């Protein structure tokens, strides 16, 4: 199937480029098509289908030779940001799907990187010798300090920017300020984007950042803005192929995160009451061994999904959320008090009801005011005095005389037998 792909650019002419591309013949190659795009007015494609897929930001720079008529577009395309990722786990791989990166990690990802066209370095020193514009620390919370202190700072450019994606913010900020050279830039980030939440789209997902130390109106400032734009504007590839004919107007919106600039202290305060509590509830529910039922409610399915999402993360991550956020202990105590309050309300009401029944003999709501007892009333009881026996009337032979009939019974055994 003849196909043509075009990477949307951060410029005002991107929509014009795409709309013009809809007028192209599928037989024309991408390079020739792009270089003659403005002047091409031949036959239209009758059948098109569109699909959005991520590609590297350097795609056009590597595959398109822009003519003089596209000088403004060429200037609009900044030199691709060289990002070094330390800790090539889930998030590092997620970023690498759409952006050109250098990667290193304790685990061996060389085969994965080779398959996906990613430059992988087994040693930290080798990555730093490439002098990336920005080093993105994606290690676990517990190992971050050892990782940062092990970076050969002297091999990096003097205006290198350090960024992190940890779920706590005061800890990496203070660590960077303590360890990094004064000229290095620092931006602390917490993207609320991951392999699951961001696999389809990024639109509206929060991306928290704090420019802790960035030189204003400098190359460092521009590189920092370029890094943040990765999340602010998720630029998609528009994959065009022959398919079903459609006369509908096609719109290609930028699907970006909701950027939230926030101080690290404020972030940790909010995160303790949201993210940490969420993980805590999920961990608690995991110990109940909840299972799906034939009559699941939407709320119950939400709890099952919450449990699955939280336990899929390592316990070290959860422990890091607790240990490295100064607000977490207070939230644990608040949660414990809240649970006790709910229990007191439940059992307090139950005890009041039982106490009124047992002591005050107050009937339950909805029952008759007078309780029916098992024994009959006194007037319905038959006179059973006939069966009474007086010991004083026993004779020497062991006979018993009934006071009413004076009938003698030979022995006590005879009375029992009768």
Question: What does the pLDDT read at residue 6?
Answer: 36
Q: 131 and 224 share a domain?
A: yes
Question: What does the pLDDT read at residue 75?
Answer: 37
Could you tell me the strand order of the sheet in which 119-121 lies?
Answer: 119-121, 101-104, 83-86, 134-137, 161-164, 185-191, 206-213, 258-261
Domain boundary among 75, 90, 117: 75
Question: What does the pLDDT read at residue 104?
Answer: 96
Domain boundary among 348, 377, 405: 348
Q: At what angle do helices 315-323 and 328-358 cross, to 10 degrees?
A: 100
Q: Is residue 354 part of a domain?
A: no
Q: What angle do CA 131, 133, 138 make, to 5 degrees?
A: 95
Please enumerate in sequence order all residues whose Cβ is within 8 A of that of 77, keeping only pairs 6 or more positions apart, or say none.
9, 10, 11, 60, 61
Q: Is residue 67 part of a domain?
A: yes
State how far the Cα of 93 lies from the Cα of 359, in Å rounded to an integer.
Answer: 68
Q: Is residue 358 part of a domain?
A: no
Q: Is residue 137 part of a domain?
A: yes
Question: What does the pLDDT read at residue 70?
Answer: 39
Q: 296 and 319 share a domain?
A: yes
Q: 100 and 220 share a domain?
A: yes
Phi, psi of 310 (to 5 degrees): -75, -40
Q: Is residue 366 part of a domain?
A: no
Q: pTM (2 decimals)?
A: 0.66
Q: 410 and 328 share a domain?
A: no
Q: 282 and 334 share a domain?
A: yes
Quote the distance between the C-alpha of residue 241 and its chain's center.
Answer: 35
Q: Is residue 244 part of a domain?
A: no
Domain boundary among 75, 91, 116: 75
Number of domains in the chain: 4
Q: 338 and 298 share a domain?
A: yes
Q: Are 153 and 180 in contact (CB under 8 A)?
A: yes
Q: Is residue 110 part of a domain?
A: yes
Q: 88 and 206 share a domain?
A: yes
Q: 132 and 272 share a domain?
A: no
State how far the Cα of 37 lies from the Cα of 17, in Å rounded to an integer.
Answer: 7
Task: Give the structural domain span for 53.
Answer: 3-75
Question: What does the pLDDT read at residue 17?
Answer: 46
Q: 291 and 316 share a domain?
A: yes
Question: What does the pLDDT read at residue 173?
Answer: 99
Q: Is residue 363 part of a domain?
A: no
Q: 228 and 286 share a domain?
A: no
State how far the Cα of 214 lies from the Cα of 404, in Å rounded to an integer.
Answer: 116
Question: What does the pLDDT read at residue 232?
Answer: 85
Tell me the CATH number at 160: 3.40.50.720
Q: 99 and 139 share a domain?
A: yes
206-213 and 258-261 beta bridge pairing: parallel
Q: 228 and 315 share a domain?
A: no
What are the 10-residue block averages of pLDDT along the chain, 418 residues in total? Answer: 38 42 41 43 42 40 39 52 91 78 93 91 96 96 97 97 97 98 98 67 87 97 94 53 41 70 98 96 97 98 94 92 98 97 92 82 66 56 57 51 49 46
């Amino acid at each position: 199937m003849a196909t043509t792909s075009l990477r949307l650019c951060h410029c005002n002419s991107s929509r014009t480029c795409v709309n013009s591309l809809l007028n192209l013949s599928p037989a024309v190659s991408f390079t020739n098509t792009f270089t003659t795009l403005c002047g091409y007015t031949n036959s239209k494609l009758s059948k098109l289908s569109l699909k959005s897929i991520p590609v590297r930001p350097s795609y056009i720079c590597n595959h398109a030779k822009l003519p003089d008529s596209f000088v403004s577009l060429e200037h609009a395309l900044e030199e691709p940001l060289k990002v070094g990722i330390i800790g090539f786990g889930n998030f590092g791989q997620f970023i690498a799907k759409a952006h050109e990166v250098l990667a290193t990690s304790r685990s061996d990802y060389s085969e994965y990187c080779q398959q996906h066209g990613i430059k992988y370095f087994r040693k930290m020193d080798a990555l730093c010798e490439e002098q990336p514009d920005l080093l993105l620390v994606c290690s676990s919370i517990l190992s971050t300090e050892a990782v940062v202190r092990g970076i050969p700072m002297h091999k990096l450019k003097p205006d290198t920017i350090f960024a992190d994606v940890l779920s706590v913010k005061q800890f990496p900020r203070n660590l960077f300020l303590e360890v990094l050279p004064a000229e290095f830039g620092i931006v602390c980030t917490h993207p609320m984007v991951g392999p699951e939440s961001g696999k389809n789209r990024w639109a509206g997902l929060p991306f928290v950042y704090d420019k802790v130390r960035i030189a204003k109106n400098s190359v460092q400032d521009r590189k920092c803005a370029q890094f943040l734009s990765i999340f602010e504007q998720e630029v998609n590839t528009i994959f065009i192929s022959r398919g079903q004919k459609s006369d509908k107007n096609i719109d290609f919106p930028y699907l970006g995160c909701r950027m939230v600039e926030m101080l690290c202290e404020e972030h940790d305060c909010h995160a303790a009451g949201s993210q940490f509590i969420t993980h805590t509830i999920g961990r608690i529910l995991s110990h109940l061994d909840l299972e799906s039922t034939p009559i699941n409610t939407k709320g119950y399915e939400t709890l099952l999904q919450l449990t699955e999402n939280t336990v899929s993360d390592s316990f070290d991550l959860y422990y890091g959320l607790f240990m490295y956020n100064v607000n977490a202990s207070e939230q644990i105590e608040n949660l414990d008090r809240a649970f006790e309050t709910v229990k007191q309300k439940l059992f307090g009401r139950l005890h009041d009801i039982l106490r009124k029944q047992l002591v005050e003999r107050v009937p339950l709501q909805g029952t008759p005011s007078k309780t029916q007892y098992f024994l009959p009333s006194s007037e319905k009881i038959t006179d059973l005095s006939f069966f009474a026996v007086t010991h004083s009337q026993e004779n020497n032979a062991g006979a018993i005389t009934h006071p009413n009939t004076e009938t003698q019974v030979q022995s006590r055994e005879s009375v029992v037998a009768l």
